[in-house]
A and B are shown apart, each in its own frame.
Chain A
Amino acid sequence: MKYETQRVAYPFFAVAMALFALQVVFGIMAATVYVMPEFLAEAMPFHIMRMSHTNLLVVWLLMGFMGCTYYLMPEEAEQEIHSPMIAYIQLAIFAVAGAGALLSYQLGIHEGREFLEQPLWSKILITISFLMFLYNTSMTLLKGRKTAINLVLMLGLWLAAVFWLFAFFNPSNLAVDKLYWWWVVHLWVEGVWELIMASLLAYLLIKMTGVDREVIEKWLYVIIGLALFSGLLGTGHHYYWIGAPGYWQPLSSIFSTLEVLPFFAMVMFAFFMFWKGRRNHPNKSAMLWTLGSATLAFFGAGVWGFMHTLSFINYYTHGTQVTAAHGHLAFFGAYVMMVLAVITYAMPQLRRAQPYNQVTNMWSFWLMTSAMCFMTFTLTFAGVVQTHLQRVMGMNYMEVQDQLQLFYFMRLGAGVVVAIAAVTFFISIFGPVKEQAPATAEA
Chain B
Amino acid sequence: MSDVLTRSAARNIFYGGSLFFFILFAGLTAHTHWYMVTTSTDSEALTDSVKRGKHVWEENSCINCHSILGEGAYFAPELGNVWTRYGGRENAETARAGLKGWIRAQPLNVPGRRVMPKFDLDEEELDALIDFLQWTDSIDTQDWPPTPAG
Contact = CB atoms under 8 A, between A and B. Distances in A.
Given A47-B61, A112-B58, A319 B24 contact: no
B99 interface: no
Interface of A: 33-34, 37-38, 41, 45-48, 50-51, 110-114, 117, 148, 172-179, 183, 214, 217-218, 221-222, 224-225, 228-229, 232-233, 235-236, 238-246, 248-249, 251, 315-316, 318-321, 323-324, 390-398, 400-401
Given A178-B71, A225-B18, A235 B25 contact: yes
15 contacts: A33-B75, A51-B61, A110-B61, A113-B58, A113-B63, A172-B51, A176-B36, A178-B71, A218-B10, A221-B11, A225-B14, A238-B71, A243-B40, A318-B144, A397-B77
A319 B61 CA distance: 17
Nearest to B66: A47
Interface of B: 1, 5-7, 10-11, 13-14, 17-18, 21-22, 24-25, 28-29, 31-33, 35-37, 40-41, 43, 46, 50-51, 54-55, 57-65, 67-78, 107, 111-115, 117, 132, 135-136, 139-142, 144-150
Contact of A111 (B50, B58, B72, B150): B58
Given A112-B58, A218-B1, A224-B14, 5 more contacts: A174-B41, A176-B41, A228-B14, A233-B25, A243-B140
A390 B149 contact: yes
B70 A47 contact: no
Contacts of A315: 144, 146
A387 B107 CA distance: 28
Contacts of A179: 29, 32-33, 36
- Say what secondary structure dominates the interface of chain A: helix
Nearest to A242: B69
Interface centre among A112, A238, A248 (most CB of B within 10 A): A112
Contacts of B75: 33-34, 46, 50
Interface centre among B64, B132, B148 (most CB of A within 10 A): B64
A174 B43 contact: no
A48 B71 CA distance: 17
